[in-house]
Structure 1
């Protein structure tokens, strides 16, 4: 905001240096600007001196929001408030940003039905918590010549938990293993993050 006219000089926003991305008040070098009012209304193309006078008269700042436009676009605003609200939004975005958690579940292609249900239960729990799950089929010996066993098992598992997640990475051979990655649907991921209260990017094995 403008300072007092005691010294006949304009002062810029309190609280530190102005961001280099935006020119404010006397930093604006253009002779004329396309002026936007504080509520977003179009004022029109005016000399920069007139725009600065309007800013001072309304106790607002003149901020060059589109410097590459011809003429540059400037807006009348409370730049201190703008900076504060932008910082608040950035902090909120960082808080809401999730670090990807990938759990891992390992199965054998000829898994026992009871073990399969147990492993599937873990996958269900992970997806409900908003975590991704890397499902690994481990082949041994002659099983390596029967990759279709792994494909069928992974497809069965994906089909049975489709209400909770989707296949993010299709089954692929990785050495003697076969890997598929499932991710939770967006709503479940959001709910899981709210419930956990903490975020981690460390893989987990069960």
Structure 2
């Protein structure tokens, strides 16, 4: 099956005839679908075809945005101002389309007071106006959580 450069179906023909026709027009014979019976070939400028194909792929890659996982580290004894600053930073990361991982390393006696550490996580989420996708989980001497979405504000106006 041969299709010419204008998109007109020329029907089935021997390969040598299709090549000859393409050469007369100064174009190439390109196999579009080798799996179908009969195989589909098109008369076109192969260089232009490859260029347009790579251009389309570049545009598609540019349109796709990979979400990054940004990390913010807290400490159990963090001040309110520092929490506010880090919450603002987390909000900016989230607004740019990234997920935010919040982590806290507990050292020494801090491991005994994990409830205080969890209160810091709650305060952080409240100030950031975000909700945890994965709630704070303690693994060894570290507590981690992932923020992924905005808190749903219930408007009672």
Q: State if a TM-score over 0.5 links the two structures.
A: yes
- Cα offsets for 1:40-86 (capped at 9, x unmatched): 44433322233223312332211012223222221111001122333
Residue in structure 2 matched with residue 143 of structure 1 by the alignment: 113
| 2:154 alignment partner in structure 1 | none
Contact 2:2 2:10 in 1 (8 A): yes
Q: For 1:46, what is the secondary structure of its paired residue?
A: coil
**What is the total number of aligned residue pairs between the two structures?**
146
Name the Cα RMSD after superposition.
3.9
Q: TM-score, normalised by structure 2?
A: 0.64
Structure whose residues are more often helix by fraction: 2
Offset of residue 93 of structure 1? 5.8
Quick check: 2:33–2:39 contact (8 Å CA) kept in 1? yes
Give runs of ≥4 in structure 1 deviating > 6 Å: 94-100
C-alpha distance in structure 1 between counterparts of 2:78 and 2:33, whole Å? 62
Q: Structure 1, unaligned stretches of length 5 or more?
A: 1-33, 186-206
Distance in 2 (alpha carbons) for counterparts of 1:73 and 1:104: 52
Unaligned runs of 5+ in 2: 151-157
Contact 1:137 1:179 in 2 (8 A): yes
